[in-house]
Structures are given as C-alpha cells and as structure tokens.
Structure 1
Amino acid sequence: MKKIILALVLILVVIQFIPALPENSPEPQSSLLIREDIPKDVQSILKSACNDCHSSSAIWPWYAHVAPLSFWIGDHVEEGREHFNLSEWENYEPKKKAHKIEELVEMVEEKEMPLEKYVWLHSEAELSADQRATLISYFKSL
C-alpha cells in the first residue's frame, strides 16, 4: 500500500511540470471584438463572463496551474477558443461572424453560457437577466 501511495504522490509531483494551459498571445487591437466602438456595458459583460475562455488573454487563477486541474481547465479553454474567440473576431469572414452571433445569442438565451461550473468559481461571470438582455439585444442588432 505504501508503494502505491508513493507512486501516486510521485506521479502528482511529476505532472506539475507538464504544461497544460493554452498560451495567451498578443492581441492586435484590429482583431478584437471588445473594442472602443462597442458599448461599455457590453464590453464589461464580455470581459467578465466570456474573456477567460473565449479569448487569447485568459487570466489564469492559481488553481489553473495545479495538475490535474490544469489539464481539465486547459482543455475547456482550448475548446472555448475553437468555438468562439473574441481575440480573432475581426479575422472571421462575414458569414462566420453571423453564425457566431446566432450561436452566442442562442447560448445566452438558453443560459448555457457562461458555463455553470465556471460561474461556481467566478461569481462575477454570472449574468443577470438584464445583462443577458443587453448582450442579446446588442448582438441581434449587428
């Protein structure tokens, strides 16, 4: 039993050195969705509720650097960036932008975003009914 516990501890220590979080990359202002020409309330909502999983400028909390959580969090962020990336917005073709807006509105309306497990640890990301309405109204107007 001692050997098994020792082996598990050794594995946990070793995996701490395996990088698991996606790299943040510099964001050229020209490609961002969160820009000065977007209403401040919409910018604020996107920053607090969407930015960490759907942009190239995630702010990693301390626990995101602890394996095995780092693998799980890194995977979620990579998947989030693949679906919708605020940092790549202006690089999307018009047809893709329209589709992403439809998806965003649907996910916000159905309260599928932000993810409940994210909000559990990041209460500032929880959207009120008014914030949901603000996002939906803004994106439907585009």
Structure 2
Amino acid sequence: MKHIQQLEKQQIPQALDLAWEVFEKYVGIDYTQRGIDEFYQFLHTPSLTKPLVYYGAFDKNQMIGMIAMRNNHIALFFVKDTHQHLGIGKALFTYMLTQIPDHRISVNSSPYATEIYRELGFCATEHMKEENGIRFLPMFYNR
C-alpha cells in the first residue's frame, strides 16, 4: 500500500540518499563534473537542506519518492527508478499542493525532468540556464 506524508527529521537522510541515487543515474548525465559536485555539496550542506520541508511517498515502509520545498519553490523532487511512470510523482506533487498555501510554485527543472513538469502543468519562464555546472529551466505553476 502506498501513502504520502510529511517527513519527520529522522527520515530526511533517507530522502537525500534517494535524491542522490536518482540524480546520479538520470539527471547527472546531463551535467559536467562541476555540476555533479555542486549538487552533491548541496545535498550534504545542512544549512541548505535543513530548512526544507520534505514529503515522502512510501510503498509499505520503503521510501519510493520525495519532494522538498523551500517556501513556494521545489528544491528537490525525485522518484526511485523502479517506481517511475506509475503516478508516484504526480501523487507527491498533488499532496504537496494541499499542504502549502502558495498559488504559484517555482522550480528550476533539470533537462531530464522538463517534460515531467510540463505534464504537471508547469510552464517555462526563461530559456535553459547554467550556474555552477547545474543546467536548469526556470518554470512556474499557477493553481
């Protein structure tokens, strides 16, 4: 049985591990080594990851997806490869929307996830950018 919940403090390291696992396999292939290192540093810098609000999707007791928010911005959003294309990401996103009051959600989408965000209703606001080796497309979602 699958369920989604806001993560407790002790579950956050598992969510960050899941993010790194999926990033390394799918997202990082579009990045230079500098971008890969930058993302790794982000995941391992508590001053950046601790303020985020995390939600996780679970199949039994196994975390299969996660989304992390900084105010109205999606900072992290990953689903295990074994559970992709099963609606887990959409369910996580929909649940997160019920938990935050903001009407406009932003994300800096990796090239890998751009189509996924479009399917969720996001629109690009600029062209693809690159900062510190991280390639991203700024996108917004309006309820």
TM-score, length of structure 2 as denominator length: 0.29
Greater fraction helix: 1
* Structure having the larger proportion of residues in strand: 2
Larger Rg: 1
Normalized against structure 1, the TM-score is what? 0.29
* Higher RCO (C-alpha under 8 Å, 6+ residues apart): 1
